[in-house]
């Protein structure tokens, strides 16, 4: 399958998914983000880079990290930023997503970071956007969250080096509802990760096609043995319409990351979680705040990754 989101000149046209992204593009974005890091949290160095361009954050679902870091990333690059508040907008009067996009485009918005509850919604909007407008998928349903996938890979790479073929990584939790897990799996496959383990209760695992190339475990003690990185996922109770988890205590006992369980991983293993974390449900606070946690590094890397993505999409 060829990756449909590239321009004729090989640059990225929109960031919709990491599924099928050429590994050279993935590496280029990671290298660029690493280089941006020095300027990601302040300073004036890159304020001219994208000045005159406008980013709109268009979030049809709640967000703390992703929305804030897109806004900061754009600001660090000198962009104008429009934070579109869906809750108080005419979306509440029934205006369609496409009409909302067209309206904001007409005001001169160049780039949209879009979060939506429906799988595929951002790709559909990208197809409807005018030439030259770029869309970034900031999470669509369960489908993809590519900038999170990139920042997770950057975080692993900083800790473990760039040879992913040496690494064993486990992704544990509510994989079924997680767009983060899907984007992480896409990226890990592309980067040639040595072993991708996926662990969770059977009713929180996705269909087999999502898990291609992964080893599936239902026992976290086995799954975590000797891994170099543990990626924990939030239990997404807002997406569960059925009682998928009978007891939160039972869930923590079987699939929670406690200090004792973490000792089964490689001694220098790192712990990631995309946030927001449910303390005591999928992760023990002692681990979340402990020395192996990279959770706040992920947040810091998020700004740099989003700067790299905006530059890739918008720089002339
Ligand atoms: C994730 C999301 O919204 O997909 N959060 C994030 O972007 N950091 C994960 C989650 O909500 O559990």
Q: 274 CB under 6 A from ligand 1?
A: yes
Distance between CA atoms of residues 52 and 301, nearest Å: 25
pLDDT at 301: 98
Does residue 9 fall inside a structural domain?
no
- Which residues contact residue 31 at a Cβ distance below 8 angstroms, ignoring those fewer than 6 apart? none
Tell me, yes or no, whether 1 lies in a domain. Answer: no
Percentage of the chain beyond pLDDT 70 is: 99
Report, as an integer, the average pLDDT of 133-155.
Answer: 98
Are residues 239 and 257 both part of a single domain?
A: yes
CB of residue 177 inside a 6 A radius of ligand 1: no
Same domain, 197 and 235: yes
d(CA 53, CA 42): 19
72 and 167 assigned to the same domain: no
* Tens-place pLDDT, residues 82-128: 999 888 888 889 999 999 999 999 999 999 999 999 999 999 999 99
Asked whether the predicted pLDDT for residue 240 surpasses 80, the reply is: no
CA of 236 to the centre of ligand 1 (A): 9
Same domain, yes or no: 156 and 289: yes
Per residue in 203-214, pLDDT (tens digit) is 999 999 999 999
Which residue among 148, 281, 299 has the greatest number of ligand 1 atoms within 8 angstroms of its CB, and so is best to mutate? 148
Q: What pLDDT does 43 receive?
A: 87
Are residue 166 and residue 274 in the same domain, yes or no?
A: yes
203 and 87 together in one domain: no
| Contact 299 CB / ligand 1 (< 6 Å) | no
Total count of domains within the chain: 2
Range of the domain at 75: 23-145+299-314
Task: Tell me, using a 6 A CB cutoff, whether residue 273 lines ligand 1.
Answer: no
Ligand 1 near 275 CB (within 6 A): yes
42's torsion region: left (phi>0), alpha (psi -120 to 50) or beta?
Answer: left
Residue-level pLDDT at 1 = 59
Which residue do the tokens 């979060």 mark?
Answer: 115
Residue 172 and residue 306 in one domain: no
Q: If you average pLDDT over residues 10-36, what whole number do you get?
A: 97
* Domain co-membership, 116 together with 175: no
CATH number of the domain where residue 130 is located? 3.40.50.1370
Residue 309 contacts by C-beta under 8 Å, 6 or more apart in sequence? 12, 15, 29, 73, 136, 147, 150
Assess whether 82 and 131 both reside in one domain.
yes
Classify residue 2: in a domain, yes or no: no
**Residue 11 belongs to a domain:** no
Q: Is residue 16 part of a domain?
A: no
Query: Can the peptide bond before residue 276 be classed as cis, meaning omega within 30 degrees of 0?
Result: yes
- Is 301 a pocket residue for ligand 1 (Cβ < 6 Å)? no
């Amino acid at each position: 399958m060829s990756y449909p989101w590239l321009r004729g000149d090989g640059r990225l046209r929109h960031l919709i998914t990491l599924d099928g992204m050429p590994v050279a593009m993935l590496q280029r974005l990671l290298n660029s983000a690493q280089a941006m890091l020095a300027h990601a949290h302040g300073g004036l160095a890159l304020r001219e880079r994208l000045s005159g361009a406008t980013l709109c954050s268009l979030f049809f679902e709640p967000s703390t990290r992703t929305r804030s870091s897109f806004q900061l990333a754009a600001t660090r690059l000198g962009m104008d930023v429009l934070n579109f508040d869906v809750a108080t907008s005419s979306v509440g009067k029934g205006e369609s997503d496409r009409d909302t996009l067209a309206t904001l485009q007409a005001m001169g918005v160049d780039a949209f970071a879009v979060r939506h509850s429906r799988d595929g919604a951002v790709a559909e909007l990208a197809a409807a956007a005018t030439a030259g407008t770029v869309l970034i998928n900031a999470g669509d349903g369960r489908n993809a969250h590519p900038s999170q996938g990139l920042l997770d890979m950057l975080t692993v790479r900083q800790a473990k080096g760039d040879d992913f073929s040496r690494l064993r990584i486990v992704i544990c939790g509510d994989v079924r509802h997680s767009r983060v897990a899907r984007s992480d799996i896409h990226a890990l496959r592309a980067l040639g990760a040595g072993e991708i383990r996926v662990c969770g209760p059977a009713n929180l695992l996705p269909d087999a096609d999502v898990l291609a190339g992964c080893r599936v475990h239902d026992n976290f003690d086995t799954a975590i043995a000797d891994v170099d990185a543990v990626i924990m996922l939030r239990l997404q109770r807002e997406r569960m319409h059925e009682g998928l988890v009978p007891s939160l205590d039972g869930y923590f006992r079987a699939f929670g990351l406690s200090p004792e369980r973490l000792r089964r991983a490689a001694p220098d293993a790192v712990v990631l979680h995309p946030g927001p974390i449910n303390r005591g449900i999928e992760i023990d606070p002692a681990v979340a705040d402990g020395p192996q946690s990279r959770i706040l590094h992920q947040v810091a890397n998020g700004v740099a990754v989003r700067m790299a993505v905006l530059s890739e999409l918008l720089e002339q």
